[in-house]
Structure 1
Amino acid sequence: MRNFTLITALLLCSLSWISVSASESHTVEVQSGGDVSLMCSNISSTPTQTEWFRVINRTKTSCVSSMYGSDSEASYCDGFQNGFEMSSNISTIFLNITRVNSSDSGLYFCGCNKINHTVLVNATYLQVQGVSESDIGVDSNTEKGSDGMTNVMYVILGVLTVFLTIVIIVLTVKNRKLQTGTADL
């Protein structure tokens, strides 16, 4: 019984770690005013509609660009016509951003249409470092808010892991007492 309890506790701790790891996105850092290329795997073996999205204010998803296959011209959504260039080859879908500024910071998703459903391939958090002249007056609280939210998630998962470990220990002790009481009869 002791081995079962230890294995269960270790499994719960490792599941908490896995869920935190899986929820994190790849981060790309770039200096303000520089250029960056975001990439994701092209999971379709045939020409399909591919798209880039961006999360705004941690709640609203906005279209950045889309294209059909690697030979077509990309179309850009409102607000993303200047400085953004989408391209694709057989294995990779690119989103090139020139002269980035802090307003370009955020979580970008790449996806494609498979069997009439959009499949999100991966997420990339773009973190713009430094301040350029074009950044003056731009609010950079989005970046700080994202880091704060991640820290809150770590604390919640840590507390939950400790709580579940305590519950397992208490239940193990109660079970052992019941087994000992039954053996004495």
Structure 2
Amino acid sequence: MSVFTVITVLFLSWTSGSVPESQTVEVQPGENITLSCINKAGSATQTEWFRVTNRTKASCISSMFEHDETASFCDGFGKEKYEMMANTSKIFLHIKDLDFSDSGLYFCGFYLNAHTVISETTYLNVQGKHVIWTIGENEPDGIKILIIAVLGGLSGVLAIVAIALAVKIRKLQTAVNEELQQERNKVNPHTFCNVPSDNLTYAAINFQAKPKRKRRPASGREIEPNVVYAATR
């Protein structure tokens, strides 16, 4: 799969459809709360809880693969304050002894069919009474912008990860091809093109000219012994 295809798939998985349904919960410091989101997986898959604070800082809280296993926590979060649970219909995040630093946008994500799907979001405000409302036309523009910015930022992060993975895969393929070529050279070590010049043996061949036949000179020929002389008076 090419880099552009990977980026396109990841981008569409985050931007398709409308903004996820959201609610705001306001609580007093020191209280406990349990957040929940709909389990869109329906089967075993990677599921994570995230939190966004100060509009730009996104953090992973916890993750699990199956709803009956123990969740693992990301850096900066621990089981002494957080507890992640799940069943076939919902994913829960229980937070103990809330303080002002716990305020932020919470949401969970699922890995489905090679896409990351974001469930509904909850904005937790540690300062007052419980007030629940749903995104609509009368919702403050700040929350809408925050949600859109979060989703856009996460899509950018996934695009960068996709590019890094594609580059790494390309390097691995190149290394494998080079290794295969070396193996082929080992199988055929006597191929002419692979024989070093130092291992070649040269032989000298001398050609002798054919000796010329010597002819006797005319003066050197023997006189025939049978000669008849005649005289006339």
TM-score range, shorter chain: 0.5 to 0.7
Give the Cα separation in 1 of the matches to 2:106 and 2:34: 12
**Off by >6 Å, runs of 4+ in structure 1:** none
Aligned to 1:18: none
2:30 to 28, 33, 57: 33
* Larger gyration radius, structure 1 or structure 2: 2
Secondary structure of the corresponding residue to residue 103 of structure 1: helix
1:150 to 142, 150, 154: 142
2:68 to 55, 61, 71: 71
Give the Cα separation in 2 of the matches to 1:123 and 1:152: 11
* TM-score, length basis structure 1: 0.57
Question: Is 2:76 the counterpart of 1:102?
Answer: no
- Residues 57-96 of structure 1: pairs in structure 2 closer than 5 A: 57-81=54-78, 82-96=80-94
CA contact (8 A) 1:51 1:66 kept: yes
> In the superposition, relative to structure 1, how do residues 24 and 150 fare at CA in structure 2: closer, same or farther (>3 Å)?
farther
Aligned to 2:45: 48
CA RMSD of aligned residues (A): 2.5
* TM-score, length basis structure 2: 0.46
Question: Is 2:118 the counterpart of 1:120?
Answer: yes
Length, aligned pairs only:
117
Q: What stretches of structure 2 of length at least 5 have no aligned partner? A: 1-17, 129-139, 146-233
Comparing both structures, which one devotes a greater share of its residues to strand? 1
Give the Cα separation in 2 of the matches to 1:116 and 1:94: 23
Alignment identity in percent?
Answer: 53
Comparing both structures, which one devotes a greater share of its residues to helix? 1
Give the Cα separation in 1 of the matches to 2:29 and 2:21: 23
Q: What stretches of structure 1 of length at least 5 have no aligned partner? A: 1-20, 131-147, 154-185
Displacement of 1:59: 1.2
Displacement of 1:23: 7.5
Give the Cα separation in 2 of the matches to 1:127 and 1:111: 21
Q: Which amino acid aligns with 2:23?
A: H
CA contact (8 A) 1:26 1:124 kept: yes
